[in-house]
């Protein structure tokens, strides 16, 4: 029997293969029950160009409570877009790592778009 995490990783592989064929810089998102992480990864897939998460002290000060909610995801989305702009990155391919596009993943994506990141 395939576990929930294994089927999520299987879904993620298809997306990552497609992005690798495009040779695009990707915005990879990972979520846990308590935190959300966003990394901008080079087209080669060998370097992280920018990262943001609810673990960072700067983000923790902006959050009222836990880092595992929609408001926290929106803060991380805006922060990753700022860091991407500072690194000279305008457009990325969105890699949701097999997670459904709703809730925290959607909030992060919409906040990044609002902050000027294109995907």
| CA atoms in the 13 A half-sphere facing the CB of 109 | 21
CB 80 within 8 A of CB 52: yes
Q: What is the largest CA-CA distance in the chain?
A: 45
Confidence category of residue 63, pLDDT binned at 50, 70, 90: confident
Helices (H) and strands (E) in the chain, counts: 4, 4
**Could you tell me the pTM of the whole model?**
0.91
Q: For the chain, which residues make up each domain, given as ranges?
A: 4-114
Please write the tens of the pLDDT for every residue from 39-52: 999 999 899 999 99
pLDDT attached to residue 65: 76
Cα–Cα distance, 96 to 53 (Å, whole number): 15
Q: For 86-117, how does the pLDDT look when each residue is reduced to its tens digit (9 = 90+)?
A: 999 999 999 999 999 999 999 999 999 999 99
Mean pLDDT of 63-67: 79
CA distances from 91 to 22, 34, 52, 107, 115 (A): 13, 28, 17, 18, 12
Residue 48 parent element (H or E): strand 48-53
Radius of gyration for the alpha carbons in the chain, expressed in angstroms and rounded: 14
Q: What is the pLDDT of residue 84?
A: 97
pLDDT of residue 67: 78
> Hey, what's the torsion of the CAs at 92, 68, 6, 8, to 10 degrees?
-40
| CATH classification (class only), 4-114 | alpha beta
């Amino acid at each position: 029997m395939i576990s929930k995490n294994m089927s999520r990783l299987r879904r993620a592989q298809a997306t990552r293969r497609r992005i690798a064929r495009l040779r695009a810089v990707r915005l990879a998102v990972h979520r846990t029950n308590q935190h959300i992480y966003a990394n901008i990864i080079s087209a080669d897939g060998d370097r992280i160009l920018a990262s943001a998460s609810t673990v960072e002290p700067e983000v923790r000060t902006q959050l009222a409570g836990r880092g595992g909610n929609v408001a926290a995801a929106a803060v991380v989305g805006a922060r990753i877009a700022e860091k991407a702009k500072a690194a000279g990155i305008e457009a990325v391919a969105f890699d949701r790592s097999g997670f459904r596009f709703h809730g925290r993943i959607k909030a992060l994506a919409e906040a990044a778009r609002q902050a000027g990141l294109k995907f």
